[in-house]
Amino acid sequence: MVAVDGPSGSGKSSASKGVARELGLRYLDTGAMYRALTWWFMTERVDTTDTALIAARAAEPSIEVSTDPDDPWTRVNGSDVTREIRTQEVSAQVSVVARVPEVRAHLIAGQRAIIAAADPGVVAEGRDIGTVVAPAAQLKVFLTADPGARARRRAAELSTDAGETEAAQARRDRLDAAQSEKAADAVLLDATDLTLGEVIDKITGLARERGEGLFLPAGAELVGLPGQGQEDKGPWAWAGDKSS
């Protein structure tokens, strides 16, 4: 398993998909799961600052995510929301929702279930994969870049103003700080002056150095959250490639 963590705009989604393709692994975007839940709360007109209500309803929607790096869709209650969860409106709310402990516990359980089902292995990306979700990952990479570079990349992706994007990014960095620590055994990779291809090559090279130990054995158990059994996985679904 490869765990790729890092702040918003560091390029971890594009890099992780590229690494998964190169190594023939599955791909998991854990951020999409937080976005999907946030989107659902917004469509239900739930006040995302109401922590008690968010905690109480976190397990209501059924969320599915594809682990095909060439077709990484997201569905909520059977509806494809892949594009809807990427709006600026969702981006502005997702960090608030993600900080709620009950949300994190629920989503992390789902992420672990997906990782355990991934064959022959998975590249999982987010903010706390190497520290919380899968601390036993054979390779951990913390991908970062300077704030200006991150903002320019995200602005180009969303066709927005770079200055406004950097301000929003700084807010997200503050809100996500508690969930964004670098694992002690993670490889720090600064992508400020690297192309996407170079980032993919570097992570792929590190993965190949780890050899057979990279892949999670079938049936392997992942470390559980304190006080939470692995049987509490909620309405999660793992989806392979689109032909399956």
Give the pLDDT confidence of 150-184 residue by residue, as tens digits: 767 665 665 567 666 666 666 766 766 667 789 99
Q: Which residues contact 214 (CB under 8 A, 6 or more apart)?
A: 1, 2, 23, 121, 138, 139, 207
Mean pLDDT of 1-14: 90
The pLDDT assigned to 218 comes to 41
The pLDDT assigned to 21 comes to 96
Residue 222, CB-side half-sphere exposure with 13 Å CA sphere: 29
pLDDT at 239 over 90: no
Tell the residue number behind the tokens 């059994």, with chain if given.
229
Average pLDDT score, the chain = 83
The pLDDT assigned to 160 comes to 66
For the segment 97-150, what is each residue's pLDDT rounded down to a tens digit?
A: 999 999 999 999 999 999 999 999 999 999 999 999 999 999 999 999 887 777
Confidence of residue 88 (pLDDT cuts 50, 70, 90): confident
Mean pLDDT of 2-10: 90
Confidence of residue 82 (pLDDT cuts 50, 70, 90): very high
| 143 phi/psi in degrees, rounded to 5 | -95, 125
